Amino acid sequence: MGGLAVLAKEAGHTVTGCDANVYPPMSTQLESQGISLTQGFGAEQITLEPDLYVIGNVVSRGNPLMEEILNRGLPYVSGPQWMGEHILRDKWVLAVAGTHGKTTTSAMLAWILEYAGYAPGFLIGGVPLNFGISARLWGNHASDFFVIEADEYDTAFFDKRSKFVHYHAKTAVLNNLEYDHADIFPDVTAIETQFHHLVRTVPGVGRLIVNGNNESLERVLKRGCWSEKEFFGNDQAWRLVMQEGEDFDVYFNDQLQGRVQWNLNGEHNRQNALAAIAAARHVGVTPEISIEALAQFVSVKRRMEVRGMADGVTVIDDFAHHPTAVATTVEGLRRKVGGARILAVLEPRSNTMKLGTMKQALPGSLKYADLVFGFGEKEGKSALGWDLAEALAPLGDKVACHHKIDELVQDIVNKAKAGDHVLIMSNGGFGGVHQKLLDALQDRAQQADNQAGNQAIAA
């Protein structure tokens, strides 16, 4: 919704918005764009008298402002529907769908098109560091192309279809599919049905870029497909061969297309890159140009983002919250740092994780971490419907769970050593733990310096 607000302002509208507990990077992006934000959903905001209320899916019945809108019969529309009707109409839409990797793959694809001179518009659920903003109408000239992160979560309280059915993609990436969003989907079959709704909206002249190693996506396509298809993954038309470090060669139909030379780590990012290269080819960007572009790709905020180093300890922020994403993130970092210690810090705060649907998978997802710190409560009130310490118990004595941010930070500081990497994983603001930890580590270093100085004086 923050990105949509940016697009609406760029399109010439006066935009205001309201939300609760907004945190960076979206809060700072809105501020930099001159978009005023009201905290909370008070009914008195009716006095702003907008022409239209654009409603996000966080808003539900009982919301004071929404109730006032309904009672007065004021005009409203969902965010995805507004996007489809006002921004995406007459565009060649490249939509990236999947349980994991949507944000990074969308960012890669937008950057490839930018590098190739297409000046695309985009709407991405994070801030791509190559652009410094999560959304724009177009680049240095009007463009017919628009890249959008296509989410399967429901559209609004009054529209229970997945958001991506509103986007009418001509190029659709189906990155992967597994069970998630347990708060709205009873099982993976229900999510597969929504993905098939997306497939149904892609025209015959369109193209699907599909992970060929995913059984759920295979079942989705068996329900019917009326568009061109290209597959990526192991033993697929688009495949990769690892080289030294994180570099890899790209093959299409067994023909070498070139070598991606970059610093991103993890198999998931390599597969994301394959999907982006294949999608860009559909609009005319050669794999050679895409490979050149990826050499300059700088990822997305909160995706393995180094927030700083203090007292020899590196603090990394990542958006991972689903067990599969946690596993690939930790494994990718392990590959990068080798034998250095990884201290994994996890806040399971997504709706799915709060329900405990996937708690049994957490220990396995954290197996490559040397120490694990769990955070299971917020502001003294339980944020989980289950016991995090009990769920992580199979990891033994390398686990510590906390209920207060300050206690969590102090425990990490007590155990962290120079050369360690602290990997903080959450899909929320996590109480500003990243900076608090860096400050505490810096204080530790200062105290050590003071103590050494005092000992020298005494000697």
Ranges of each domain in the chain: 80-294, 305-447
Query: What's the mean pLDDT when you consider all of the chain?
Result: 91
Q: 335 pLDDT band (50/70/90 cuts)?
A: confident
What is the pLDDT, as a whole number, of residue 304? 82
Q: Does domain 305-447 have CATH number 3.90.190.20?
A: yes
Region 373-389 average pLDDT: 71
Position with higher pLDDT, 359 vs 232: 232
Position with higher pLDDT, 22 vs 422: 422
| Per-residue pLDDT tens over the stretch 233-290 | 999 999 999 998 889 999 999 999 999 999 888 888 999 999 999 999 999 999 999 9
Whether 24 has a pLDDT exceeding 80, the answer reads no
Calpha distance 106→111 (Å, rounded): 8
| Per-residue pLDDT tens over the stretch 92-109 | 999 999 998 899 999 999
The partner residues of 210 in beta bridges, in order of sequence, read: 174, 231
Calpha distance 166→286 (Å, rounded): 29
CATH topology of domain 80-294: UDP-N-acetylmuramoyl-L-alanine:D-glutamate ligase (3.40.1190)
Sign (positive/negative) of CA torsion 208, 213, 214, 219?
positive
Q: Are 335 and 265 in contact (CB under 8 A)?
A: yes
What is the pLDDT, as a whole number, of residue 381? 43
Region 23-36 average pLDDT: 81
* Angle CA 252–126–353, to nearest 5: 95
All residues at 6 or more sequence positions from 386 whose CB lies less than 8 Å from its CB, including other chains:
356, 359
Calpha distance 303→126 (Å, rounded): 9
In percent, the amount of the chain with pLDDT more than 90 equals 70
Residue 381 DSSP label: E
Whether 423 has a pLDDT exceeding 70, the answer reads yes
What is the pLDDT, as a whole number, of residue 87? 96
Are 80-294 and 305-447 equal in CATH topology? no
Whether 379 has a pLDDT exceeding 50, the answer reads no
329 phi and psi angles, rounded to 5 deg? -70, -45
| Per-residue pLDDT tens over the stretch 314-325 | 999 988 878 888
In percent, the amount of the chain with pLDDT more than 70 equals 98
- Lowest average pLDDT, out of 76-90, 165-179, 422-436, goes to 422-436
Run of H or E including 104: helix 102-115
Sign (positive/negative) of CA torsion 332, 335, 336, 340?
positive
Whether 228 has a pLDDT exceeding 90, the answer reads yes
Q: Is the pTM of this model over 0.75?
A: yes
The partner residues of 345 in beta bridges, in order of sequence, read: 373, 424
Whether 378 has a pLDDT exceeding 70, the answer reads no
Q: 377 pLDDT band (50/70/90 cuts)?
A: low
Q: 22 pLDDT band (50/70/90 cuts)?
A: confident
Region 417-443 average pLDDT: 91
Calpha distance 38→41 (Å, rounded): 8
User: Distance between the two ends of the chain, CA-based, in angstroms?
Assistant: 62
Residue 173 DSSP label: E
